[in-house]
Structure 1
Amino acid sequence: MSFFEAVKKHPLILILLALCAISTFTIASAAPVMTNIANPDRMWIMQLAYYAVGGLIAFAIYKVGMDTLYRNIRLLYWIFMVLLIGLAIDHICYTKLLHTHIVPFASYVNGSTCWYNFKVFSFQPSEFMKVIMVMYLAQMTKEFNNKVLVRTSDSELKYISEVLKIALPPAILILLENDTGVIMIMAAACFFILISSGMNGRWFIFFFSALAIIIALMSYLFVYHNGIFTSLISGHRLDRFYGWLDPEGTAGNQGMQLWFAMLSYGTASWFGHGFRASVMSFPEGHTDFIFAVICTDFGYVGALITIAAIVAFDVILLRIGLRSDNERDKHYTMGMIGCLVFQQVWNIGMVLGLAPITGITLPLISYGGSSLLSYLFAMGIFFDIDHMNKITSLSAKGY
């Protein structure tokens, strides 16, 4: 089988291998800037191990079949809800009341309690919840559309309420854990599923109008009533906001990471400073700021190759999902594309100083177990969708 035949037959596997190569190579290159990691040279090996485990998870999902997961989606949803409840309770008790952990294995890191730390590995339920939520919404949307033959304002309001019933409870719990990044990703997923559901366009006009009003109001408060603004956005979030607005002026504190990253990749030119270059140190070079490492070490060429791989990955997923005859698969695809595209655009945007730093990683490239494993879990469903598409295609041809 030639390379082009392999690409045509197994495009998703090959693009995942390409993203794995980019990820592990960049994490290895980022070792000199990981000043907060005791043994940075082993991080790329850990990432490769996560990819291996995630590949096994994806294969297991493919073999079990997505229909089995969908039949048990409510059970999965509530299992992760219980895990999120435990972390939310622990965060409140740790930060407001007892200043000690009351939930076993709950871990408080960088102002948030969103991890269960089992020493051998850490587990972030919210990362998996976003995939479970997308699956739940995809199934609910298909069932709702099968029941409602004629769209009316009342039926669409009822649909929106059903979406909120599924999406709001985990979002509130994640907010109580002080993890706004995952909430934004979940909101993007919901928005893309709403688009795919066939809702009237006036709802989206209303949404964007409301969003524009909120942004304008917050901007007005920031400029003219800063005291009110800082009462609404405070603590770690406010620090990150000021670090984004004035990275040079806050380089000694909040803006250090962004400013040092900009100084590093700003001098990289077309081919970068080379493997394991250390122009400036920024602690999250293997996670939130991995794109800055790509730009610094491999220049514009490395950045363009990475963006091309990301776009190819998204296009492949869209082709797989939208070719399916099952409406549920289309909603699932749109939800996952919402998660991925939002993370990709926001992460690259914040590295370039175009968006606030919110701890949102670059999917399948940034270092991280839970995020990577959750997306490879999602890929298992895409493998099953692709398999069913091929069976349908062969049946249509009379094989």
Structure 2
Amino acid sequence: MRDPPTDRFLCYIAEKYAYGMLTQSSSIEPSPPPPFFPPKPSGLQKLVPGARERHAQEVLRLQERHRNQITEHAEREQRRQYSLAGARSDHEKKVDAQRRKVEEQHAEIDAFHRDLKSGSPSAITNYFTLVLTSSEYPEGFPQQAKVAYIPESKQAIVEYDLPSLDVIPAVSTYKYLKTKDAITESARSLAQRKTLYASVLSQVVLRTLYELFKADRMGYLETTVLNGYVESLDKGTGHTMRTCLVTVRTNQDTFNKLNLKLVEPEACLKVLNASISKSPSELAPVRPVMELNMVDPRFIESTDILSTLDQRVNLMELTPNEFEGLITNLFQKWAWKPGKRRPHAMGALTVSLLTHDPFSAARLLYRQNATKIR
């Protein structure tokens, strides 16, 4: 027997299908009652002239009616059986289709679960995307997320869409006036809306970080970079633009030490060294700590050239691959996370170097030509 997924979240995203029961449109009709024979005349009735003849005629009439009822019942039963066979066939087809759908869905979930347990980066990104899109928010919160994952450093980079200022109602209170049978509104000041909006953004960011770390039951996340974006219309160009209003990078150990029940959201983000827009309502941007396009899935293992060199080696005599390995090894000694890309066309090579220090987050690209070291 196939073992079901053990993770509760995977069980949660699995839909429950019911095959249903076959319902008959018409019940089985009972056989008609036995023929009724009127009692024979007795006593004074026998003295009435023609009583016996009338009784015999009534018996013949009832017998004929009963035979007609039997014939009609047989015809109705034949039609009912034909209709029932069609309904049963349609029901079996629906059950088979539903069963195939359930089996396909279970197979997809089982494959997803296996990939997730094996540490597949695509499965990990899909898993955390499902976590974020499954959260319940009020109307007006977009809940769109893009997730990238760096398995070497167990780091997730998340772009999460935040609500616009419109999510804060412009009306503060409603009041019913009985004398006028009308409802009046009290406007909320713009300053109050801006304050509430900044608090809402901070709360969403903290909640998103909490959900990511809480859902990490397999230990895939050590560090998370979260960039909060707001999508709006650029009135100057008429095109849609995306503005980063909050960016934060933190690790799970630091975040788990927070008492989120007692923190003030904006102050808590400052403790996490987050960059917050000075004016979120006016879409004043901040520079993301790290963007999704900085995560390149083409990293491969680098070669250890540094350990094979000594002071007598002429650097100009190194091959392009050896020189690239040297650059990689040097930065690795400085706590950078190196990765070597595959060679490009025309022999060009590129080294991508990434630091995971939250106080000096950066990415360095070094490119050389195979025929000449630059």
TM-score tier (shorter): under 0.3
Greater Rg over alpha carbons, structure: 2
Structure showing greater relative contact order (alpha-carbon pairs closer than 8 Å, 6 or more residues apart)? 1
Give the structure with the higher percent strand: 2
Give the TM-score normalised by the residue count of structure 2: 0.20
